[in-house]
Homo-oligomer: A and B are copies of this chain.
Amino acid sequence: MNIAVAQSGGPTCAINASLVGVFKEALKTPEIDAVFGSINGIEGIINDELTDLKLVIKSNEDMELLRQTPSTVLGSCRYKLPPVEYGGEIYEKILACFERHRIQAFFYIGGNDSMDTVAKLSDYLKGAGSDIRVIGIPKTIDNDLPVTDHTPGFGSAAKYVAATVQEIIRDSSVYSIESVTIIEIMGRHAGWLTASTCVLRANDEIAPHLIYLPECDFSAEKFLEDVRNQQAKYKAVIVAVSEGVKIAGEKSKPVMVDNFGHEYLSGIGKALEQLVRDNIGCKVRSVELNVMQRCSSHICSKTDIDEAEQIGAAGVKAALAGETGKTMCFRRISDIPYVVTVESADSHEIANKEKFFPKEWISASGNDIAPEAIKYFLPLIQGDVKIAMKNGMPVHFKVRG
């Protein structure tokens, strides 16, 4: 039998490690012959654009480099499959591609939206009497997938954010005048990545002094009051704010939406900067950590990269055991020592759903994170990958000739 694998949704530092996990496990499995990579997610299956991964990933060194290369070596997409009952033609194209290449299992590495593809496609194939298996491998820096304890890609993003926020704290504290620094952090409508800045307290940082998540209501007045309260204690006030935070009563600006109807978020940092400038008048700046949060492999978490590979491999085993329409998930057994197992869950339970940061880990004031959250986050950022360097720069895996 042959298998195919594709990558979908926004880039992370760990998607290629999951690809390596699928590929390596396939090499070890005598039943599996070819491993096809689908170019640009499910679009590659629909358009019959496949690549033979054994001709792309040629050595253990290639696998190591691919593990440390951010983003998606096969490209990505934001393609949403039509409902099974209306999408005959598309699904027939997919099935035809699978049959043409004798593909018996398809692995889709992605987030909530990609799990929608896994759920629909497995439904269709079952309905069509096919025994081709479809397995979802989770990834997202947002950490917002239900069922799984956490998602590959999140740990590396959190490690980058922690290291960078600590550096911004140093940078912001040099002058003798009062200042406010606002750091805008990704995560869409879930506050996980912003909340993870609380790990700095394990290293004796007090900042960020204020942490705002989309899980709480946010008012401009309360924010200004919070800032003034912190200014009574600290010369340089550091604020971490999630891109998903919305100011109550603010009129929405016209926004762009992607194929899943999701708005492109960003701008709250600049909005809060302006609020402070207009109402407090001290030195203020905002910093957007932008795409660096999801692609800074040079400071990725070894735990995250290793787990991303592990969950990819587990997906292959699940498919061989006959599972389909499933998403691989982590279940946490304990924080200290950190132990997780990999299980599978119905992809319908995950598709298009979001898991929010727990309310009980947000302080009553709505501007801080409870200490209990630290032990959830800390294991996910542990360990450093030994990055291969050339000419003083990390080496990225590139598809050759």
Contacts and interface: CB of A to CB of B under 8 A. Distances in A.
B291 A171 contact: yes
A167 B164 CA distance: 16
Contact of A11 (B174, B292, B295, B391): B174
A11 B170 CA distance: 9
B71 A173 contact: yes
Contacts of A174: 7, 11, 40, 71-72, 75-76
A76 B69 CA distance: 37
A274 interface: no
Interface of A is mostly: mixed
B75 A167 contact: no
Nearest to A202: B391
Interface stretch (A96-104, A143-151, A357-365, A376-384): A376-384
Contacts of A43: 176
A69 B391 CA distance: 24
A189 interface: no
Given A77-B175, A176-B77, A292 B168 contact: yes
Each complex incorporates copies of this chain amounting to 2
B171 A294 contact: yes
Contacts of A297: 167
Interface in A281-301: 285, 287-292, 294-299, 301
Contacts of A202: 390-391, 393
A71 B389 CA distance: 26
Interface in A17-68: 40, 43
B390 A168 contact: no
A138 to B, nearest CB: 18
Given A75-B173, A167-B298, 17 more contacts: A7-B174, A11-B171, A40-B175, A71-B170, A75-B174, A76-B175, A78-B175, A162-B392, A162-B393, A167-B296, A167-B297, A168-B291, A199-B393, A203-B395, A289-B292, A301-B392, A378-B392
